[in-house]
Amino acid sequence: MNENEEFNKYVDNFKKLSTGRKKEETIKQMKKMLAFIWALKEKTGIPFSVLYNREIIDAKDKTVSEDDFVEAVFVYIHIIKEAFAEYVDCTIGKEEL
């Protein structure tokens, strides 16, 4: 089974979860991504400069509402986007891009 087939199966099983669990898993995956970037920054000595918005607090509960969930995802994406861009800026530099 190739990677994409595994991924498809993984997504299929994700689809069978309850909506609450799907939200939980989605937030978890974004946190992993964020942690990864921060780890990279740590290893390369890049200081933290984190965006923050209190909307992500609402996503901690499994029974988060649709509105709160979407707002939290929106905030996470921006945090990840900014953190990654900062990492790229500090490691490769704008001139090399």
Instruction: Name the residues that contact another protein, by CB under 8 A.
Output: 3, 6-7, 9-10, 12-14, 16-18, 21, 25, 28, 31-32, 34-36, 38-40, 42-43, 48, 50, 52, 56, 79
- Compare residues 53 and 95 and give the one whose CB is closer to another protein: 53
- Compare residues 43 and 94 and give the one whose CB is closer to another protein: 43
Between CA 49 and CA 38 the distance in angstroms is 10
Minimum separation from the CB atom of position 63 to another protein (A): 15
Q: How far is CA 55 from CA 7, 25, 46, in A?
A: 30, 17, 26
Between CA 24 and CA 93 the distance in angstroms is 35
Which residues have CB under 8 Å from 23's CB, separation 6+?
A: 59, 62, 64, 69
- Compare residues 12 and 94 and give the one whose CB is closer to another protein: 12
